[in-house]
C-alpha cells in the first residue's frame, strides 16, 4: 500500500514533524510572547480549541486552555472520558470525527501509544499530541526548548542529564529526539538497567552527531551537567505494582546532591513530582521547574498561532500496511481494530509507524 498523506492539515504528533526553521520560529514567537504578552491578546478571536484528555493532566491541559484563552479564542473538551460518550464505548475515530467538526484545533492526551497519529488520520482539523502513552510528549519538549532558550540562552552544546524513568517517560523520549538535532549536545542517561531508554531512542542519538553515556549514580553524574532533567517513575505504565514499588524511590535529588553540582546547573522536571526532588531543593535558584511550567503557556500560544495562521500539511504514514500485529500491546493498532498497522522496513526489522516499537519480521 502506498503512502498515507493525511487529510491536509498541519499536525504536531512528533516534534520531528516540524523543520528546524519551524522550531526556531515557534521558539522565537514564544520568547516574544514572554517579553510582551499583551501584543498577542485576541489574535485567535473566534477560534475554538478542543482539549480531549483521556488521561489526567494539570499543566498540559490547563496551559493549552490558558494559551487559547489568552489568544482570545475559546475552549471545549473533556478532562475525564468517563463523562463523555467514550464511556458508552465510542471509538477514537468517531470522537475525533465529531469534535474536529466543532473545534478548529484539538489537543489530545491518551494513554495508548500512537493514538495522536491515529486521531490525525481521522480529523478535519489539526491535531496536537499532548502525550500518547509512554511514547511522546512534544509540547512538553517545546516548553523545555523555550525554557532552555530563556534560562541558558541556548539549546546546543549542553551536557544534559536525564534521570529516573527513562523507559516510560515520554517527555524524555521527546526531549532527546529534539535535543539531538542541535550540535554539541551530550546526553547522560541516569537510570537503573530496568528503566533505561528504549532502543528507538538510543538509535535516534546514534543517528545524530550527539553522544550519550549511561550511568546509574546521580551523585557521580551531577557535577558534570549543564542541565538535569529529573523525572517521575511512571506508576501508571508499570504492569506490576511490586516492580514499581521496588524502583520508585531510587533517585532523589536533595540538597546534598545539589552541593555537588555546578553553580549554573539548570534543574528541570516536567512535573508532577512525587518524591524524586525534595521540597527543600525548590528554594535553590537552580531549581527551574516551576518557571518551566509557566513557560509552557507561551510555547503553546506560539504553537497554536503558528498552526492556525500558517497551515501546512503533515504526512502521517510513509511505510507499508502489513497484516502483522504490532508487538506493543499498548499500541493503538492493538486497541482500535479498524486501524491497520503500518511499518517502516529495514532489513528484517519492522518499526511500527504509530508507536515506534520494533520487531523482527517472522
Query: With respect to ligand CP, which residue has the nearer C-beta, 46 or 279?
Result: 279
State yes or no: residue 290 binds ligand CP (CB under 6 A). Answer: no
Query: With respect to ligand CP, which residue has the nearer C-beta, 58 or 101?
Result: 58
The C-alpha torsion from 123 through 124 and 128 to 131, rounded to 10°, is -20
State yes or no: residue 272 binds ligand CP (CB under 6 A). Answer: yes
Three cell numbers, residue 275: 518524591
The count of residues interacting with ligand CP (CB under 6 A) is 10
Kindly give the interhelix angle for 138-151 and 20-35, rounded to the nearest 10 degrees. Answer: 60
Q: List b or e across 37-61, with b for residues whose CB sees 16 or more CB atoms inside 10 angstroms.
A: eeebeebbeebbbbbbbbbebebbb
**Shortest CA distance to 268 belongs to which of 301, 291, 234, 251?**
291
Q: Quick one: which segment of 58-66, 151-159, 206-214, 320-328 binds ligand CP (CB under 6 A)?
A: 58-66
What's the min distance (Å) between Cβ of 228 and ligand CP? 16
Three cell numbers, residue 191: 537510570
According to CB under 6 A, which one of 114, 134, 161, 270 is a site residue for ligand CP? 270
Determine whether 4 is exposed, middle or buried from the number of CB atoms within 10 Å of its CB (0-12, 13-18, 19+): middle
Q: Quick one: which segment of 52-60, 243-251, 253-261, 337-345 binds ligand CP (CB under 6 A)?
A: 52-60
State yes or no: residue 292 binds ligand CP (CB under 6 A). Answer: no
Please state the φ and ψ torsions of residue 108, each to the nearest 5 degrees.
-125, 130
Question: What CA–CA distance (Å, rounded) separates 334 from 64?
Answer: 29
Question: What CA–CA distance (Å, rounded) separates 102 from 50?
Answer: 8
Convert residues 4-23 into a mask of x (bound to ligand CP by CB under 6 A) and - (unbound).
--------------------
State yes or no: residue 133 binds ligand CP (CB under 6 A). Answer: no
Tell me if 183 sits within 8 A of 209, measured CB to CB.
Answer: yes
What's the min distance (Å) between Cβ of 296 and ligand CP? 8
According to CB under 6 A, which one of 10, 11, 47, 59 is a site residue for ligand CP? 59
According to CB under 6 A, which one of 57, 95, 351, 358 is a site residue for ligand CP? 57
Q: Which residue has the cell 520568547?
A: 31
Interface positions, 293-332, toward ligand CP (CB under 6 A): none
What's the min distance (Å) between Cβ of 203 and ligand CP? 25
The order of strands in the sheet holding 227-230 is: 211-215, 186-190, 159-163, 227-230, 266-268
State yes or no: residue 271 binds ligand CP (CB under 6 A). Answer: yes
What's the min distance (Å) between Cβ of 58 and ligand CP? 4
What's the min distance (Å) between Cβ of 139 and ligand CP? 8
Give me the residues paired with residue 229 across strands.
162, 268
State yes or no: residue 173 binds ligand CP (CB under 6 A). Answer: no
**Residues at the contact surface with ligand CP, assessed by CB under 6 A:** 57-61, 131, 140, 270-272
Amino acid at each position: 500500500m502506498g503512502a498515507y498523506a493525511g487529510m491536509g492539515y498541519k499536525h504536531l504528533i512528533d516534534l520531528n514533524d516540524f523543520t528546524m526553521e519551524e522550531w526556531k520560529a515557534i521558539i522565537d514567537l514564544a520568547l516574544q510572547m514572554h517579553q510582551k504578552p499583551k501584543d498577542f491578546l485576541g489574535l485567535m478571536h473566534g477560534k475554538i480549541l478542543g482539549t480531549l484528555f483521556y488521561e489526567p493532566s494539570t499543566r498540559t491541559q490547563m496551559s493549552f486552555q490558558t494559551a487559547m484563552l489568552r489568544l482570545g479564542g475559546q475552549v471545549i473538551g473533556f478532562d475525564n472520558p468517563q463523562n463523555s460518550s467514550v464511556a458508552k464505548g465510542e471509538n477514537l475515530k468517531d470522537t475525533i470525527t465529531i469534535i474536529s467538526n466543532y473545534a478548529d484545533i484539538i489537543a489530545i492526551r491518551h494513554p495508548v501509544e500512537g493514538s495522536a497519529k491515529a486521531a490525525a488520520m481521522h480529523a478535519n482539523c489539526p491535531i496536537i499530541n499532548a502525550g500518547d502513552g509512554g511514547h511522546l510528549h512534544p509540547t512538553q519538549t517545546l516548553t523545555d526548548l523555550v525554557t532552555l532558550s530563556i534560562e541558558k540562552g541556548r539549546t546546543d552544546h549542553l551536557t544534559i542529564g536525564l534521570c529516573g524513568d527513562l523507559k516510560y517517560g515520554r517527555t524524555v523520549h521527546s526531549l532527546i529526539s529534539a535535543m539531538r538535532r542541535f550540535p554539541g549536545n551530550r546526553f547522560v542517561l541516569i537510570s537503573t538497567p530496568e528503566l533505561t531508554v528504549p532502543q528507538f531512542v538510543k538509535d535516534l542519538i546514534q543517528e545524530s552527531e550527539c553522544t550519550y553515556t549511561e550511568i546509574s549514580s546521580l551523585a557521580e553524574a551531577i557535577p558534570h551537567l549543564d542541565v538535569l532533567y529529573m523525572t517521575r517513575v511512571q506508576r501508571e505504565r508499570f504492569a506490576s505494582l511490586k516492580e514499581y514499588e521496588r524502583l520508585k524511590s531510587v533517585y532523589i535529588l536533595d540538597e546534598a546532591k545539589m552541593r555537588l553540582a555546578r553553580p549554573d546547573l539548570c534543574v528541570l522536571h516536567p512535573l508532577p513530582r512525587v518524591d524524586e526532588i525534595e521540597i527543600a531543593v525548590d528554594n535553590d535558584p537552580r531549581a527551574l521547574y516551576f518557571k518551566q511550567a509557566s513557560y509552557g503557556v507561551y510555547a503553546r500560544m506560539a504553537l497554536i498561532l503558528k498552526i492556525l495562521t500558517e497551515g501546512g500539511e503533515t504526512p502521517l504514514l510513509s511505510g507499508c500496511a502489513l497484516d502483522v500485529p504490532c508487538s506493543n500491546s499498548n499500541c493503538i493498532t492493538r486497541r482500535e481494530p479498524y486501524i491497520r498497522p503500518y511499518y517502516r522496513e529495514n532489513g528484517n526489522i519492522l518499526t511500527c509507524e504509530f508507536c515506534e516499537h520494533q520487531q523482527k519480521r517472522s
